[in-house]
Amino acid sequence: MSATALAEPASPVFPACAHCGAPSAPGARFCCSGCAAAFEIIGGLGLGTYYRRRVLDPAARAPRPDDSPPRHDLAAHVRSHPDGSHEMSLAIDGLQCGACVWLIEQVLAREAGVLTGRVNMTTRRLRLVWTGAAGRADVLVGRIEALGYRLIPFEPGALAAADDRTGRALIRALGIAGFAAGNVMLLSIGEWAGAMQDMGPATRSLLHWVTAFLALPAIVVAGRPFYASAIAVLRRGRTNMDVPISVGVVLVAGISLADTLAGGTHTYYESALMLLFFLLLGRVLDHRARGRARATAERLLALRGAEVTVALAGGGSERRRAETVAIGDRVLVGMGERIGIDGVVEAGESSLDASLVTGESLPVRAGPGMKVFAGTVNLGAALTLRVSAAGSGTLLAECVRLIEAAEARRGRFVVLADRIARAYVPVVHVTALTTFLGWWVLGGAPAGQALLIAASVLIVTCPCAVALAVPSVQVIAASRLFRQGVLLKSATALERLAEVDAVAFDKTGTLSEPALALEAVEPARGAALADAARLAAAIRHPLAPALVAAAAPGLAADGVTEHPGAGLSWTGPAGETRLGSREFCGIAGAAAAGPELWLTRPGAAAERFGFVERPRADAAAVIARLRAAGLAPRLLSGDGPGAVARMAAAVGITDWAAGLTPVAKVARIEAWAASGRRVLMVGDGLNDGPALAAAFVSASPASAADLSQTVADLVFQGEKLGPVADALTLARRARGVMRQNLALALGYNAMIVPLAASGLVTPWLAAAAMSASSLAVMGNSLRLARG
């Protein structure tokens, strides 16, 4: 993506930057420090020389203005990791375009010890990771400020305020164009009515001059975003969609002014103003759509920066930023408070609104031993949590990383639409020139009339609808999937999902629930279950959460001793209580087929607790839904045949394989691919990583291992499989809408261009028709937002 595409105009009244074409301050040659530096570096100075002269040399650094705000205390915002590295997120004031991003990243890459220095253009955030002393933060920030930028701790609210200023500037330009267009149309009505009643030349000329004084300033001010962009790309020997727009507007306004000066009978100021009004309306809507996309990541980032209440070891509590909390700390969460860390409930029982994390609208229960995630809201009683992850280690932070990782990628349809739009502009210019020469040279029409017809061709053939055809679909589809709990890691995932004709599932943690469930316990065994749960709550064994969840709420026992690989013991007044394996508890006989724990207590009979693997609640319904859609569901598992057969029968899969190694899973998928199948692999374990990478497209639940989530093309939240089927269905719909949009945009031009070239479409009608095609494409795309 070019720097011009990244640099959205911040104000419609400033001149264009000499490097990227973005708006710059009055009298300034460049819009930002990045463009000024890029101009010097590309012009022959070189990056190494620039770095030494402009960054390392104190005398050449950009001085901080006397009235600039003091630098923030960066130490409070540095997060230290166990491996000795340090991390900090900063907002960059003055970031304008891709040149800024390139310059900052190149300067940081030359700093010793910097592991990561990445700038996100959308959120204007710098993520900085380095080794050495934490105090180096001031040095690294000074390097960037030497370039002319100002760095502050990342606050999405401040960035949103700057984004609002851009939106207000566009709305002001839209208001100017609309106000002028409305008044000019009123004056035109008077002129048209007077023409039918023998209006005198003097009166008509007066109306033309009044219209000119009203229209021309509005055309200059409201059209500056288009003019600046057109001039910038022409200087670099390129064209874009703003070139034919600018030429058309200038032609119409120039012909109208010439007719006004000559005392002619016809002017077309209203056509130029209406064109600008419709185009600015599209820009305003596009700006708001992009703002909603940015808000997704910024909202998550804002939640990460929330404060939490930490219980102190000596009593009392204090408020801290979530990213500064240490693993193992105890955090208190009151009613109505949003949880700022990942953790395990230590005390209390409540309901949580987990819609942000899982996409589920219904509240979920939270009790002792249950894991909770940052971003969820406590709807009930107070909870005490033991921190398991904070800051960049939370699930919420991973959501942000997944969103940002997918941000810069492009799909096949996006590339196709961009290529069409790039090739389209020269064709438009040739068509308009041919139309002008045809009417003027061959048709004998006056030059003014020929220019008006050529301007109409320029306007109606603007490829805005082509450029919107695919991105609008992808933004809307990705937003809807996010609301349903699906995060797309790759822009091509949506297109590949639409072509899937077979789905392969892993068993454990994918078709089944992530944790084993406790077999039914008779009420008479309630006391035994409560005692077992009190011991289990003290450890992090895979079977412990099932015991704790099945028992009545209670506190963990104090003084529990863990015997690795065997079980737990606790000594009370009556003697020793044990919870663990059959051998540890002294139970004779052969072990059961499934997982089990035994409980022995003084003076009581031994109690057995069995555990079963249950399919996800909607697994059978999802398998049936996939089969009805013409997809072939399969089950690939490394577990034994008995367990795999039971799970396959429970969910309705007839094609299954057991005892597969990771290599064997890959071989199965490659064999299906060789036969022409396009397989979606859904898995969660480390052993599923190779199969996920080998599949045509892949998905993992949010509970999956880090490797699986890294390899997968999409990650779905929640305890159900429904999001997988929803993503497949929406992907197929999105592919159809993309094709419809491209056909609609190209078909519109195939129909309207001959009419414009034949002189049947006036400039104002051309503007309306061009805007109508863009609105039609957007309207067609918005169908995806509905069910």
| Residue-level pLDDT at 490 | 67
Pull the structure tokens for residue 658.
Answer: 């057991």
Amino acid at 460: V
Residue 545 scores a pLDDT above 50? yes
> pLDDT, tens digit, for every residue of 727-755?
999 989 888 888 888 888 778 777 877 88
Our CA angle for 687, 688, 689, nearest 5°, is 95
* CB-based contacts of 700, cutoff 8 Å, min separation 6: 682, 683, 684, 688, 692, 708, 709, 711, 712, 714, 715, 716
Amino acid at 518: L
Indicate the CATH number for domain 1-156. 3.30.70.100
Q: What's the pTM value of the predicted model, to 2 decimals?
A: 0.50
Residue 413 scores a pLDDT above 50? no
> pLDDT, tens digit, for every residue of 350-360?
778 765 555 44
The H-assigned helical ranges of 337-470 are: 355-358, 395-407, 412-437, 447-460, 464-468
Q: How confident is the model at residue 61 (pLDDT cuts 50, 70, 90)?
A: very low
Cβ atoms of 569 and 578 within 8 Å: the answer is yes
| CATH architecture of the domain with residue range 160-298 | Up-down Bundle (1.20)
β-pair partners for 89: 127
| Residue-level pLDDT at 66 | 40
Topology at the third CATH level for domain 307-337+341-393:
2.70.150
Residue of higher predicted confidence among 135 and 422? 135
How far is the CA of 509 from the CAs of 136, 652, 706, in angstroms?
A: 43, 17, 14
How far is the CA of 752 from the CAs of 355, 555, 772, in angstroms?
A: 47, 75, 12
Pull the structure tokens for residue 686.
Answer: 């480390």
Largest CA distance in the chain: 117
Written out in words, the top-level CATH class of the domain with range 477-514+616-733 is: alpha beta
Domain boundaries, the chain: 1-156, 160-298, 307-337+341-393, 477-514+616-733, 517-612
| Residue-level pLDDT at 578 | 92
**How many C-beta neighbours within 10 Å does residue 315 have?**
6
Task: List phi, psi (to 5°) of 320.
Answer: -135, 155
| Residue-level pLDDT at 485 | 81
Beta-strand relationship, 632-636 and 656-657: parallel
| Residue-level pLDDT at 624 | 92
Structural element, H or E, at residue 6: helix 3-6
Percent of the chain topping pLDDT 90: 5
Cβ atoms of 626 and 725 within 8 Å: the answer is yes
Topology at the third CATH level for domain 517-612:
Calcium-transporting ATPase, cytoplasmic domain N (3.40.1110)
Rounded Cα gap, residues 31 and 8, in angstroms = 11
Please identify which of the residues 286, 506, 684, 726 carries the catalytic annotation. 506
Rounded Cα gap, residues 423 and 413, in angstroms = 15
Does residue 163 have an active-site annotation?
no
Using alpha carbons, select from 253, 245, 212, 251 the residue that is nearest to residue 226.
Answer: 245
Query: Can you say whether the dihedral through the CA atoms of 392, 397, 402, 405 is positive or negative?
Result: negative
| Residue-level pLDDT at 718 | 77
Reported residue count of the chain is 787
Amino acid at 548: V
